[in-house]
A and B are shown apart, each in its own frame.
Chain A
Amino acid sequence: NAGVTQTPKFQVLKTGQSMTLQCAQDMNHEYMSWYRQDPGMGLRLIHYSVGAGITDQGEVPNGYNVSRSTTEDFPLRLLSAAPSQTSVYFCASSTDYEQYFGPGTRLTVT
């Protein structure tokens, strides 16, 4: 089991560019979510999905888009990157409360 995998590990974007952060899990978990971690803020929920075809917004969804076409994959799209989106992004999956996290993507927007 690879668990939760995320690509890329690092990314630098210019303001206004778009990109997709990839997340995949091989544990057949229905629930998947995206968080961002900023200094002094803990992890904040961006979007989540309770199963293929079903997504919903979390605490900080603005500027991000998600879709869930398969159980395994849950990509996060930045539509037009802004410096405020500089952060570390974590994807997680679970069947219940205990969530399994990926290793993270460190994104810098200049």
Chain B
Amino acid sequence: DQQVKQNSPSLSVQEGRISILNCDYTNSMFDYFLWYKKYPAEGPTFLISISSIKDKNEDGRFTVFLNKSAKHLSLHIVPSQPGDSAVYFCAAALYGNKLVFGAGTILRVKS
């Protein structure tokens, strides 16, 4: 029973365009959501997060949107750059620091 789902295994985007990565969750008790980026042979690195009491958080080229009624969040990257090519994981926090991760989406930004 996957509580956090990333239904798109991969996404390909042209450099300079917008990348939109999506994530759905089933547990309404999640109180914090995070996006992690992972390059091959490295550990995941924190990208951006959002509290369940907000609907948007922005950090430079990265914006996360949260729609609690739909139990859906998305990560927007504008403009996309070749260095953004990586695996992106959505994660949700339940009872403090315990994170539940989605399966990940491979983003390829073509130059």
What is the interface of chain A, defined by CB distance below 8 A to chain B? 4, 31, 33, 35, 40-45, 48, 50, 58-59, 90, 92, 94, 96-104
Contact = CB atoms under 8 A, between A and B. Distances in A.
A45 B6 CA distance: 18
A45 B42 contact: no
Contacts, number: 60
Contacts of B44: 43, 90, 101
B43 A45 contact: no
B97 A33 contact: yes
Contact of A42 (B45, B93, B104): B104
Interface SS majority for chain B: strand
Interface in B2-40: 4, 6, 9, 32, 34, 36
Contacts of B41: 103-104
